[in-house]
Amino acid sequence: MRAEVLALLACRPGGTYVDGTVGGGGHAAAIARELVLLSKKGHQVRLIGLDIDPDAISAATVRLSEFGCRVVPMTAPARRDEDITMPALDCFKDMVILVKTSYVNVADVVQRFAPGPVGAVLMDLGMSSDQLEGNRGFAFERDGELDMRFDPDGTSLPAWKLLRHASLEDIKDWLRNYSQEPFAGRIARVIFERKGMINTTRDLVETVQRVVPRRRLRKTLARVFQALRIAVNQEIENLRAGLVAATGVLSPRGRLAVICYQSGEDRCVKDVARTFRDKLQVLTRKPITPSASEVQLNPRARSARLRVMEVRS
């Protein structure tokens, strides 16, 4: 939904735009092209891309290199006169800044690296093809370590280790709350009984196979892997914190655009919109969904839901 996102972000002269989930840089590149047109007219603009996945930052760096892209560390000092190792940032030359951090930290990033008011924040919550096709345990079709961490260098436990510490109720709650799994009870019990033997994606698949009818196995596995991934990365808690943080950094008439792919995320976005209804005006009465042609080209987009809110002036 790149065209819809660009239209609703409504990039304006001056200020900063934030892609809170830069991924491979697809949306960011489209936004950067809009900002290039503004910069050629003499406006100072900047795109800041955030992601906790180091592979995503590397991929985005390549994708966005044509726009004058620089990766900067979150440990950079807030005051430039304290900066000894990092050259000063040029608002025109360094139009795109990438930071390996979570959108939860967007306020800190904006304070350090934004040259002007924040006009929009985009959060695309879907997993990238690179993540699904990699070997970090996200996909049940690929055998490998059951890791599932977006940030392998972070503090989260890998999925296999999280299961070791989980109670039966923990596993049941994850399956019910994060994927609405109808077989949550029986799956939770068999995972709990065998959790000491689950180290790889194949181990988890074979465990679920024990209690789920073959005809329903594939969709069930997708829900089980989704629920465990959300638990590993604390996605719903972080999403709520990130939405609140984004709302705090946006300037008047600044826009917050969120693309969700599952009901828990969508509920969280709607809940934050209600909580901040005195500050945020919802621009999308119903979520925007991908066109049939886009779904045909990218079947993974079928469940995408775009919601956009604007800070009241």
**Which domains does the chain carry?**
2-125+235-311 (3.40.50.150), 135-233 (1.10.150.170)
Task: Measure Cα distances from 34 to 14, 29, 39, 113 in Å.
Answer: 12, 9, 9, 20
Which pair of tokens denotes residue 277? Answer: 């209804």
User: Rounded to whole angstroms, how far apart are CA atoms 312 and 292?
Assistant: 33
Helix (H, G, I), strand (E, B) or coil at 129: helix
Asked if 57 and 50 touch (Cβ cutoff 8 Å), the reply is no
* Per-residue pLDDT, 92: 46
* Spans in the chain with pLDDT lower than 50: 76-87, 92
- State residue 133's pLDDT score: 77
pLDDT tens sequence across 99-128: 999 999 999 999 998 878 899 999 999 777
Quote the pLDDT of residue 89: 53
